[in-house]
Each structure stands twice: as C-alpha cells, then as structure tokens.
Amino acid sequence: MAGGSRFKTDIKGSGKPLLSIITAVFNGGAFMEKTIQSVIAQQNYNIEYIVIDGGSKDETIDIIKKYEHAIHYWISEPDKGIYDAFNKGWNVASAESFVLYLGAGDLLKVLPDEKSFKDADVVYGNVMLGETTIFRSKVDFRLKLGNTLHHQALFIKKSLFPFSPFELKYKTYADFDLNQKLLKRQTKFYYDGKFLSYALPGGASQDFQSQESLAIVRENFGPFHAVLAFVYYTAQGIMKKLKV
C-alpha cells in the first residue's frame, strides 16, 4: 500500500541544500506523530520527507495519512527489517540530497546551519539519549573500534552510495558498518555543534551485540583493529559494572 505522491512539492532549485528525512517505522503509532511534527517544524529548510512503514497493524497508517500533506513519499509493506526499510528510503530519496534517518519517537531538535553542507559529504551533530544524556559524536580513531555516530544527527550525501548502502547481513549495526565505510573512504566530515536530535530510548541496538560489532570492525579495518575493539568493549563493560 502506498500513499502520497513522488515529491509533489517543488522543493528543488531554491539554492538551499536538499535534505531527505526518512522515517522507518513498524507499529510505532504511540510515537509517530511527534516525530512527524518535529520534521514539519523545520520550515526554514529544503526538506523532502519520506516514510517507510513495514506494514503496521496499529494506528501508524492513520497518523501518516493525517499528515500526508507534509509527506513527499510513503509506503506501507512488509520488509526484511530496519535496514531493508532504510535502503528503501535511501533509494527513493533525491539523488542530490543529504539523507538522515529517524525512527518513530526520534525527534529533530536543531538542524545544521545551511553553510555546513557547502563543502561536506557528511554533516553530523549530537544526540540526546533520553532526557538527561547527550551523546557527543566523534569522527576519529574511535570510529574504527565502535560506533561514535548516531543516525539521528547524521546527514550523508546520497551520491556517495547511489543505491542500498546498508548491508542486510548485519541485523543490528549496519549503520555502524556504513559509518566505517565512510571513514575508510576519507569522506569529508563536518561537525556542526548546534545540530541536535533526540533518540527514543530502547530500540534494536539497546543490548550491545559484541560479535556483530567485532565482525564489522574486522571486515572494514582488519583483525588487529578487531582485537583492539575487543579490548575496548571489555574495558567499557568493566567500567559500566563499576558504576552500578
């Protein structure tokens, strides 16, 4: 089932960077409306909004239809998981856009300054994890060991990967895999300290899956970095236990 129309608004040609905001959702009716409203509120930006629903059986579709006037493309059909939905959204986004992902319950707070996109391939900011913690994103050697970027505050130029950038063999951390691939390419990252989003607590990646994360590190940066990552994860686990 599909609705809306293919980018019905003339959002191109304004001189502003084109931002593709993609929400992937499945039975997220309890949180979906606030996410949509947070996108609609960004009226000063050149945005195309895409919603990929996995065949929800709750009120999600009713909420999508309520805001259909502000959604440039949406579809509801079964998928193979979150990263299959992410790929579907990526593939319908405009070729010249910068792409960002929100889940149901995630919120845009403050988008980057438009000048941040001028010479960048990736623009990133920080993410509120619940109401009390701010995740400070980093692009340095630590990204070779663990995911130091969160997709809620990460715009990626679509032209870097024209089609389906997420590896479906990774069920939990395909976004980490993509971030490492961007690092390997020596992509032009730009940090905008004002850029802030909110991530709904919980989700598929809440319980750390060390084996998948290590497999990603090994594939992208080799066995030496995988060993370093194992030591890093072990140390983090010990520190977490000491804080309890």
Q: Tokens 């194992």 appear where?
A: 230
pLDDT digits (tens, 9 = 90+) for 181-234: 999 999 999 999 999 999 998 765 567 899 999 999 999 999 999 999 999 999
- 26 vs 2, more confident: 26
pLDDT at position 1 over 90: no
How many residues comprise the chain? 244
Q: Which of 132, 179, 174 is nearest to 153 (CA)?
A: 179
pLDDT for 201: 87
pLDDT digits (tens, 9 = 90+) for 57-83: 999 999 999 999 999 999 999 999 999
pLDDT digits (tens, 9 = 90+) for 144-179: 999 999 999 999 999 999 999 999 999 999 999 999
Q: Structure pTM? A: 0.92
The Cα–Cα gap between 57 and 72 comes to 22
Q: Which of 189, 131, 110 is nearest to 157 (CA)?
A: 189
pLDDT at position 40 over 60: yes
The Cα–Cα gap between 23 and 49 comes to 8
Could you give phi then psi for residue 102, rounded to 5 degrees?
-125, 140
pLDDT for 5: 43
How many other C-beta atoms lie within 10 A of the C-beta of residue 196? 19
pLDDT for 130: 84
Task: Determine the 3-state secondary structure of 32 from DSSP.
Answer: helix
